[in-house]
């Protein structure tokens, strides 16, 4: 069922080849890369400028090529920019008005740039949480089997029976105080950590099922039986024989968790319990932009750009995820997921 | 077969008990006072009186009282709406959500399955393109955006639908379509993937080589197998859709159940929260059971095993 | 499979179409309006939200009613003005001859006593119980006596069921008067075991009371019996008398010039005697086992018929005809009301819209006639349309409500950080550094009035609030330096707590930016969802927290009392003898002008010197009224009597 040599160079070459032949995945990957580089380069400025307000002239200012933000507060806010990026300063200042301004006169370009990174960070954190929890749980169940397996999987079944949105809300609410205290009261960062822990802690269930299924099937492979016959312990077998075979399918599944986590963050923002202001995220900006959908006023840029970027990011992430799955794991996870 | 069903029912009851305990634990331990329902602070003696009135002065006792009520199918009072009991709220909102959710799921099947199958059979072409873009739009645009846009265009600009509310057929299409979109997307994707795989199987190639009409091979031989993953997905998805969606209910002002999940959690309202969660869990369990039953009927391999 | 799904879909749609047609039997209402978010309750005693109060004012009629535009008291179920004794302590209300309940019964003075008594019962948990307990003589003592009994009876009933007692309950049993039988039984038990030379007894050890082998069930019954026997006797001490069916005499603790304003409030509505049919009982006691007076919560339903209950009976111009959860409320003219024949709108539907944006879209497409308050996030644009006259159906209205920040005035340490706001100079500096005009005009843009003091100007008859602190960054900096924090050095990171949603985020971000710019401090925003916010605020886990306050009656004390020492809603924890003394002096002052000047002096103490709060702005709201609807006057508390409304179609 699963090719034991998934990690050998030739096999991964075919994987890469398969990925490269997938046009959607390549386009998505290119888009992601471009966005990551662009927002990465802009990071020093977006960190400095994302909450520079301009109440006097810039409130809900439409996109324009000419800058409406006075230069002085922007210059004052700029902190440490790496020397290599310094020459970009004037371009950045000019870019501040390209996509318009929000209700406090803050530049949408830089809020989007930072929001992209925040969203990606939350999604990545959530995926990592799900990955670690799910792999540990699933592998334990699959390896030990028997009673333990039954018990662990029953827990997963129970948690499946709970609506995930309830879990996320209650996790978020319950975790906030202890974690903020644990992180030394640095609320802004504590908040992000809580957010991805909460999202991650509801996304690990499927991961656990996938990993358990894989481990179970691997247990009956000849090479595992052979090493068990030679007296190898379960931990050794897991590390030596199973882990290499798990990497592909698990990575493929994980790449599909990323866009889901991003969408969940957007939904939490819509409820007002996502990323807290002034920090932006794509979901937060999109949820704020929904107010533009009305017959009276059109702050279309506050809706179109965040939503557009969010949708494109999700399309790209989904494309790459699908591509990865087809490349690394043509059969097995699809069966598990179903 | 009967034994399997009985076993599943016992397991389901055990799961529900765990769900109850877990939800109770979470809502009671989360910070925030469920009894404070206005913006004013609750005086300590008033809080004490309310806790005594609603059996909340002792968590252990509260756990038992709630559970005894639930066993009699009485979910007790809710603090957010003191004039209504949880049972009344469920009785008024569950049918609304169930109707909306069922329509959405059926839409997803009616639209998603043919689209997915056609895009797999035909390869490139308009069906494939439409299917893919629908699938992408469904998962990539948050419902709060699609819902608001649909409302503005169809209810305000074109005036072909009422602005929110519930009660007549005209109220149904906009929320149903909004709710269906993510499901359409998923069903399309699953069908397409299943169909692609089924068509590459040896027995299909054999059937084609034997000279059977392509149409017949696709629909009679490949499709039933390709539909199985969709069926598995539809179980929990139907339960989810039928218990409502917060966003759709808020945007279209639909008096369904989805809002109570979110509001009860945000308000830490134990009674209503536990009631909604248990209904959700019970539906998930029931639909999984139904889907497994259908599986047995559809899948020849399972049928022979069960018989 | 797909075909099956399609058929099922069509069947469902057909069913929906049929059921939709069948349910539309009621004639369309004369007037439809938006009931924003939920109907929390229709129990007038428990109401707190404006949208609920709005309905209550049309269903019930208090002793006085509100004038639709000024909200000052006018004649209601009783004539206006009431007879007031020269010392201002005895108020006599004469009920109208023609007052009728919606089932035809005459409205009697005892119905008001029932309503008021219910409002102050601990089991009712009324937000506005203080309207009675603060003002009517003996009411507070009665409420406290009942609360004590509730604590003791709850503890006893739980113990009788075998649950352990916690420290608070043991404390109650050891100290409270009504728990005397328990203490006597315990003493007897201890004596008996001491006589027997027993070792199990640990005399004098308080915690052991909870574990003692007392006849808990009998004790519970005994305490209950004694308490019930004394209830009416105790209530007779409360200063409410009904010399006859048409007269209600109230004795007050201190003169209260706005008492006729209070009696117009829904919390003091009369209650029809049929409610007693739904009283919850324990055995033959008219109380629950916990000693509470409670009623079947279904009593607000028009079609509830348990144990002979006739459904909700009200005495206002309208009666409740139908209430569908989360969908709509239908009011119809009370046929027995004295003005029934002259009320133009015979039926009214309050439609529930959760999302304010959807509500406005419904107004735009003509589905509803009236939105009391348009709360969309682009309300500034609606306000602009109203101001410029482009849309005659949107109306601006200045509210008796203030948006402000609370400073934590009393905890030296918050979450492990020193709290600089215990120093009034720091608070003053923070007040001076916020440009409220910029917040009102640039951030909100809907015409809210920048605030300097707590009481909104022009809303309280006879009262003009003092000038407070304006925007003056230079003096803010020097004040901060004086307090030992030149240019903000030495100050910890300041936390600003707010609840997420609505414009709060934008307002707090703008204010934080101003403090950072003008004072050189670092601000950290802490947005919380509303329950956590409420808990943090009430337990004073904040340095600065956002808040708002709306007037309950037309007197400045509705605002100023909030900041008095120990007030349950005084989140700042501000406690200053001088301020309380001024309020106390005003409360016994009989001369209206002198009273107002005392109150003004008190307000100026908080507005320009002590600054426990930072007033930001006084609310302005937008009301949407469809052309052709007359008789709706936007007022400062957005309470609309519907009896004058008429709709031209």
Categorize the per-residue pLDDT at C182 as very low, low, confident or very high, splitting at 50, 70 and 90. Answer: very high
- For an interface test with A, give the residue of C502, C506, C507 to mutate (most A CBs within 10 A): C506
> What pLDDT, on a 0 to 100 scale, did the predictor assign at position A5?
38
Please, which residues bridge with residue A166 across strands? none
Q: pLDDT for A203-258, tens place per residue?
A: 888 889 888 888 888 887 778 888 888 888 777 887 887 888 888 778 878 888 89
For chain A, the average pLDDT equals 81
Q: How far apart are CA B116 and CA B189, in angstroms?
A: 6
Q: pLDDT for A299-321, tens place per residue?
A: 888 888 999 999 999 989 888 88
Cα–Cα–Cα angle for C148, C153, C159, rounded to 5 degrees: 135
Q: How far apart are CA C570 and CA C449, in angstroms?
A: 23
Q: How far apart are CA C237 and CA C259, in angstroms?
A: 20
Cα–Cα–Cα angle for C642, C95, C60, rounded to 5 degrees: 30
For residue C249, pLDDT beyond 50: yes
Q: Encoding tokens for residue C107?
A: 């409205």
Q: Which residue has the tokens 């209700």?
A: A103
Q: How far apart are CA C451 and CA C470, in angstroms?
A: 9
For residue A189, pLDDT beyond 80: no
- Which of chain A's residues have a Cβ under 8 Å away from the Cβ of B193? 334
CB contact under 8 A, B280 and A286: no
Report chain C's C-alpha Rg in angstroms: 28
Q: Which residue has the tokens 């348990």?
A: C306
Q: Of C473 and C412, which is predicted with more confidence?
A: C473
Domain boundaries of chain B, sorted by first residue: 93-306
For residue A70, pLDDT beyond 80: no
Q: Encoding tokens for residue A16?
A: 């890469």
| 3 state SS of C544 | strand
- Which of chain C's residues have a Cβ under 8 Å away from the Cβ of A176? 528, 532
Locate the DSSP E strands across C354-431.
370-371, 394-407, 413-414, 417-418
- For an interface test with B, give the residue of A154, A172, A202, A293 to mutate (most B CBs within 10 A): A293
Q: Encoding tokens for residue A297?
A: 């006023």
CB pairs under 8 A between A and C: 73
The number of beta carbons lying within 10 Å of the beta carbon of residue C551 is 21
- For an interface test with C, give the residue of A185, A191, A270, A302 to mutate (most C CBs within 10 A): A185
For residue C642, pLDDT beyond 80: yes
Q: Is C141 on the interface with A (CB under 8 A)?
A: no
pLDDT by position in tens, chain B (length 307): 788 888 888 989 999 999 999 999 988 888 888 888 887 888 888 888 888 888 888 888 999 999 999 999 999 999 889 999 999 999 999 999 999 999 999 999 998 888 888 888 776 667 677 777 777 778 888 888 899 889 889 988 888 888 888 888 888 999 999 999 989 988 888 888 888 888 877 888 888 888 888 888 888 888 887 888 888 888 888 988 998 888 899 889 899 998 898 888 888 889 999 999 999 999 989 988 888 888 777 766 665 554 4
Q: Is C158 on the interface with B (CB under 8 A)?
A: yes
CB contact under 8 A, C12 and B57: no
For residue C180, pLDDT beyond 80: yes
Give per-residue burial for A67-79: e unless 16+ CB within 10 Å, then b.
Answer: bbbeeeebeeebe
What single DSSP character describes residue C369? S
For residue A4, pLDDT beyond 60: no
Q: What is the mean pLDDT of residues C304-308?
A: 91
Please, are residues B1 and B306 in contact by the beta-carbon 8 Å criterion?
Answer: yes
Q: Which of B45, B169, B259 sits opposite C13 (nearest CB)?
A: B169
ipTM over the 0.90 cut-off: no
CATH fold for domain C43-138+238-319:
Dipeptide-binding Protein; domain 1 (3.90.76)
For residue C558, pLDDT beyond 80: yes
The number of beta carbons lying within 10 Å of the beta carbon of residue C13 is 17
Q: What is the mean pLDDT of residues A134-156?
A: 88
Within chain A, where are the H helices?
9-21, 23-49, 71-77, 89-95, 108-144, 146-160, 164-182, 187-219, 222-229, 234-237, 243-271, 282-289, 300-328, 332-337
| 3 state SS of C242 | strand
Within C29-166, where are the H helices?
50-59, 109-120, 130-133, 139-160
Q: Which helix (H) or strand (E) holds C546?
A: strand C544-550
Q: How far apart are CA C490 and CA C475, in angstroms?
A: 18
Q: How far apart are CA A39 and CA A95, in angstroms?
A: 13
Residue range(s) of every CATH 3.90.76.10 domain in chain C: 43-138+238-319
Q: Which of C415, C531, C532 sits opposite A185 (nearest CB)?
A: C415
Q: What is the mean pLDDT of residues A135-158?
A: 88
In chain C, what's the furthest Cα-to-Cα distance?
Answer: 93
Categorize the per-residue pLDDT at A333 as very low, low, confident or very high, splitting at 50, 70 and 90. Answer: very low
> What pLDDT, on a 0 to 100 scale, did the predictor assign at position C400?
94
Q: Is A277 on the interface with C (CB under 8 A)?
A: yes
Residue range(s) of every CATH 3.10.105.10 domain in chain C: 396-621
Mind telling me how many Å the CA of C506 is from chain A's nearest CA? 7
Three-state DSSP string of C513-536:
HHHHHHHCCCEEEEEECHHHHHHH
What single DSSP character describes residue C123? G
Categorize the per-residue pLDDT at C197 as very low, low, confident or very high, splitting at 50, 70 and 90. Answer: low
What class is the B93-306 domain? mainly alpha
Q: pLDDT for C390-427, tens place per residue?
A: 999 999 999 999 999 999 998 878 877 889 999 999 99
For residue C271, pLDDT beyond 70: yes
Give per-residue burial for A291-322: e unless 16+ CB within 10 Å, then b.
Answer: bbbbeeeebebbbbbbbebbbebbbbbbbbbb
CB contact under 8 A, B142 and A162: no
- Which of chain B's residues have a Cβ under 8 Å away from the Cβ of A294? 152
Cα–Cα–Cα angle for B5, B11, B17, rounded to 5 degrees: 140
> What pLDDT, on a 0 to 100 scale, did the predictor assign at position B203?
82
Phi and psi of A159, rounded to 5°?
Answer: -65, -30
Q: What is the mean pLDDT of residues C558-587?
A: 93
Most confident of A192-196, A315-319, C199-203, C609-613: C609-613
Q: What is the CATH code of the structural domain delimited by C396-621?
A: 3.10.105.10
Please, are residues B269 and B78 in contact by the beta-carbon 8 Å criterion?
Answer: yes
- Which of chain C's residues have a Cβ under 8 Å away from the Cβ of A277? 500, 505, 508-509, 525, 527
The CA distances from residue C621 to C371, C374, C383, C445, C542, in Å, are 11, 7, 8, 11, 29
Q: Is C527 on the interface with A (CB under 8 A)?
A: yes
Looking only at the bridges linking them, the beta strands covering C347-353 and C31-36 are: parallel
Give the burial class of B293: count Cβ atoms within 10 A of its Cβ; 0-12 exposed, 13-18 middle, 19 or more buried: middle
Q: Give chains near C: 3+ CB pairs under 8 A.
A: A, B
- For an interface test with C, give the residue of A58, A189, A294, A298 to mutate (most C CBs within 10 A): A294
Q: What is the mean pLDDT of residues C496-509?
A: 89
The number of beta carbons lying within 10 Å of the beta carbon of residue A181 is 12
Q: How far apart are CA B48 and CA C144, in angstroms?
A: 13
Give contacts of C 507-566 with B, CB under 8 A. 529-532, 534-535, 538, 548
Please, are residues B40 and A180 in contact by the beta-carbon 8 Å criterion?
Answer: no
> What pLDDT, on a 0 to 100 scale, did the predictor assign at position C496?
93
B218-227, C488-497, C573-582: range with lowest mean pLDDT:
B218-227
> What pLDDT, on a 0 to 100 scale, did the predictor assign at position A233?
79
Q: Which helix (H) or strand (E) holds C71?
A: none
Q: Is A103 on the interface with C (CB under 8 A)?
A: yes
Q: Encoding tokens for residue C206?
A: 């308080």
Domain boundaries of chain A, sorted by first residue: 3-22+108-337
CB-based contacts of C114: which residues, under 8 Å, 6+ apart?
A: C270, C271, C273, C275
Q: Give chains near A: 3+ CB pairs under 8 A.
A: B, C
Q: What is the CATH code of the structural domain delimited by A3-22+108-337?
A: 1.10.3720.10
A54-58, B83-87, C129-133, C599-603: range with lowest mean pLDDT:
A54-58
CB contact under 8 A, B151 and C358: yes
> What pLDDT, on a 0 to 100 scale, did the predictor assign at position C19?
67
- For an interface test with C, give the residue of B28, B45, B97, B150 to mutate (most C CBs within 10 A): B45
Give the burial class of C496: count Cβ atoms within 10 A of its Cβ; 0-12 exposed, 13-18 middle, 19 or more buried: buried
Mind telling me how many Å the CA of B19 is from chain A's nearest CA? 6
Please, are residues B253 and B20 in contact by the beta-carbon 8 Å criterion?
Answer: no
Q: What is the pTM of this model?
A: 0.90
Give contacts of C 426-455 with A, CB under 8 A. 438, 442-443, 445
Q: Which residue has the tokens 């082998």?
A: C213
- Which of chain B's residues have a Cβ under 8 Å away from the Cβ of A273? 266
Instruction: Reply yes or no: is the peptide bond before residue A278 cis, omega within 30 of 0.
Output: yes
Percent pLDDT > 70 in chain A is 90
């Amino acid at each position: 069922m699963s090719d034991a040599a998934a990690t050998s160079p030739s096999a991964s070459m075919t994987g890469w080849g398969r990925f490269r032949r997938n046009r959607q995945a390549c386009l998505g990957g290119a888009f992601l890369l471009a966005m990551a580089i662009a927002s990465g380069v802009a990071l020093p400025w977006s960190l400095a400028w994302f909450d520079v307000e301009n109440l006097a002239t810039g409130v809900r200012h439409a996109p324009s090529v000419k800058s409406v933000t006075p230069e002085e507060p922007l210059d004052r806010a700029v902190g440490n920019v790496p020397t290599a990026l310094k020459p970009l300063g004037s371009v950045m200042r000019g870019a501040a008005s390209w996509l318009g301004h929000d209700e406090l006169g803050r530049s949408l370009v830089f809020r989007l740039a930072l929001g992209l990174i925040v969203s990606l960070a939350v999604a990545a954190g959530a995926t990592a949480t799900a990955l670690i929890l799910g792999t540990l749980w699933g592998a334990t169940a699959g390896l030990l089997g028997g009673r333990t397996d039954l018990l662990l999987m029953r827990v997963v079944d129970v948690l499946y029976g709970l609506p995930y949105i309830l879990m996320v809300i209650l996790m978020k609410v319950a975790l906030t105080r202890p974690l903020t205290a644990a992180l030394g009261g640095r609320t802004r960062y504590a908040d992000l950590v809580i957010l991805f822990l909460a999202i991650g802690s509801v996304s690990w269930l499927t991961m656990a099922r996938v990993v358990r299924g894989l481990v179970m099937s691997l247990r009956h492979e000849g090479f595992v039986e052979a090493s068990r016959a030679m007296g190898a312990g379960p931990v050794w077998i897991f590390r030596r024989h199973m882990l290499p075979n798990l990497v592909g399918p698990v990575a493929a599944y994980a790449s599909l968790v990323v866009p889901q986590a991003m969408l969940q963050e957007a939904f939490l923002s819509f409820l007002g319990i996502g990323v807290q202001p002034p920090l932006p995220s794509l979901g937060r900006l999109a949820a704020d932009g929904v107010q533009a959908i009305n017959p009276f006023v059109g702050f279309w840029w506050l809706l179109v750009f965040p939503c557009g970027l969010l949708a494109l990011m999700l399309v790209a992430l989904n494309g790459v995820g699908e591509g990865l799955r087809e490349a690394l794991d043509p059969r097995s996870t699809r069966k598990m997921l179903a | 077969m009967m034994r399997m069903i009985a076993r599943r029912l016992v397991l389901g009851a055990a799961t529900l008990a765990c769900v109850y305990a877990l939800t109770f634990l979470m809502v009671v331990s989360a910070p925030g006072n469920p009894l404070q329902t206005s913006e004013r602070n609750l005086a300590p003696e008033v809080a004490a009186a309310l806790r005594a009135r609603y059996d909340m002065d002792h968590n252990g006792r509260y756990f038992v009282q709630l559970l005894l009520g639930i066993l009699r199918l009485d979910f007790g009072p809710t603090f957010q709406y003191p004039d209504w009991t949880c049972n009344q709220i469920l009785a008024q909102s569950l049918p609304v959500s169930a109707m909306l959710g069922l329509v959405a799921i059926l839409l997803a099947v009616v639209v998603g399955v043919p689209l997915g199958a056609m895009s797999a059979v035909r390869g490139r072409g308009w069906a494939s393109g439409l299917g893919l873009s629908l699938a992408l739009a469904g998962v990539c645009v948050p419902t709060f955006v699609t819902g608001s846009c649909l409302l503005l265009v169809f209810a305000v600009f074109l005036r072909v639908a009422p602005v929110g509310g519930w009660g007549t057929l005209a109220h149904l299409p906009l929320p149903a379509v909004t709710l269906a979109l993510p499901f359409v997307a998923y069903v399309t994707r699953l069908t397409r993937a299943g169909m692609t795989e089924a068509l590459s199987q040896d027995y299909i190639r054999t059937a084609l080589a034997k000279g059977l009409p392509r149409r017949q091979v696709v629909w009679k031989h490949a499709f039933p197998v390709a539909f199985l993953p969709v069926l598995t997905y539809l179980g929990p998805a139907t339960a989810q859709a039928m218990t409502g969606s917060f966003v759709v209910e808020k945007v279209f002002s639909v008096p369904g159940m989805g809002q109570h999940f979110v509001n009860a959690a945000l308000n830490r309202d134990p009674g209503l929260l536990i009631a909604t969660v248990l209904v959700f869990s019970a539906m998930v369990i029931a639909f999984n059971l139904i889907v497994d039953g259908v599986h047995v009927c559809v899948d020849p391999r399972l049928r022979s095993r069960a018989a | 499979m797909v075909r099956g799904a399609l058929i099922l879909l069509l069947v469902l749609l057909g069913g929906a179409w049929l059921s939709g047609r069948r349910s539309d039997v009621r004639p369309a209402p004369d007037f439809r309006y938006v009931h924003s978010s939920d109907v929390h309750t229709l129990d007038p005693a428990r109401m707190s939200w404006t949208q609920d109060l709005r309905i209550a004012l049309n269903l019930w009629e208090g002793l006085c009613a509100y004038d639709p535009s000024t909200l000052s008291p006018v004649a209601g179920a009783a004539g206006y003005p009431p007879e007031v004794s020269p010392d201002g302590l005895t108020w006599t209300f004469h009920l109208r001859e023609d007052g009728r309940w919606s089932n035809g019964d005459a409205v009697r003075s005892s119905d008001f006593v029932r309503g008021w008594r219910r409002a102050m019962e601990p089991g009712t948990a009324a937000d506005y119980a203080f309207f009675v307990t603060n003002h009517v003589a003996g009411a507070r003592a009665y409420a406290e006596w009942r609360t004590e009994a509730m604590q003791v009876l709850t503890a006893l009933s739980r113990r009788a069921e075998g649950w352990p007692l916690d420290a608070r309950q043991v404390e109650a049993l050891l100290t409270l008067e009504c728990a005397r039988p328990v203490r006597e039984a315990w003493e007897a038990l201890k004596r008996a075991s001491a006589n027997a030379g027993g070792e199990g007894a640990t005399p004098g050890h308080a915690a052991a009371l909870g574990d003692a082998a007392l006849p808990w069930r009998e004790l519970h019954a005994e305490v209950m019996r004694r308490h019930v026997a004394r209830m009416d006797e105790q209530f007779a001490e409360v200063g409410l008398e009904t010399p006859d069916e048409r007269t209600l005499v109230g004795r007050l603790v201190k003169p209260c010039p706005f008492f006729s304003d209070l009696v117009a409030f829904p919390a003091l509505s009369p209650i029809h005697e049929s409610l007693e049919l739904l009283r919850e009982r324990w055995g033959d006691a008219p109380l629950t086992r916990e000693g509470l007076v409670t009623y079947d919560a279904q009593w607000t339903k028009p079609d509830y018929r348990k144990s002979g209950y006739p459904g909700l009976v009200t005495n206002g111009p309208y009666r409740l005809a139908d209430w569908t959860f989360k969908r709509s409320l239908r009011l119809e003219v009370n046929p027995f009301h004295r003005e029934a024949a002259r009320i133009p709108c015979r039926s009214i539907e309050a439609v529930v819209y959760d999302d304010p944006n959807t509500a406005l879209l419904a107004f735009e497409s003509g589905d509803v006639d009236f939105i009391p308050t348009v709360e969309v996030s682009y309300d500034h644009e609606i306000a602009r349309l109203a101001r410029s006259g482009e849309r005659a159906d949107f109306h601006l209205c200045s509210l008796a409500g203030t948006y402000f920040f609370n400073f934590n005035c009393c905890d030296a340490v918050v979450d492990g950080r020193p709290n600089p706001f215990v120093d009034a100079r720091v608070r003053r500096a923070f007040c001076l550094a916020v440009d409220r005009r910029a917040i009102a005009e640039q951030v909100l843009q809907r015409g809210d009035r920048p605030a300097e003091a707590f009481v909104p100007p022009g809303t309280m008859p006879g009262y003009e609030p003092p000038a407070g602190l304006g925007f003056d960054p230079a003096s803010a900096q020097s004040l901060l330096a004086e307090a030992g924090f030149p240019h903000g050095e030495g100050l910890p990171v300041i936390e600003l707590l707010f609840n997420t949603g609505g414009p709060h985020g934008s307002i707090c971000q703008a204010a934080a930016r101003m403090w950072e710019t003008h004072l050189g401090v670092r601000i950290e925003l802490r947005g919380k969802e509303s329950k956590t916010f409420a808990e943090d605020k009430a337990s004073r886990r904040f340095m600065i927290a956002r808040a708002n306050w709306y007037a309950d009656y037309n007197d400045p004390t509705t605002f100023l009392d909030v900041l008095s020492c120990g007030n349950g809603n005084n989140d700042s924890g501000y406690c200053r003898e001088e301020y309380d003394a001024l309020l106390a002096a005003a409360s016994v002052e009989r001369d209206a002008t002198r009273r107002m000047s005392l109150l003004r002096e008190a307000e100026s103490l908080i507005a320009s010197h002590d600054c426990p709060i930072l007033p930001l702005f006084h609310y302005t709201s937008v009301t949407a009224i469809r052309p052709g609807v007359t008789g709706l006057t936007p007022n400062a508390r957005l309470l609309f009597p519907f009896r004058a409304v008429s709709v031209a179609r």
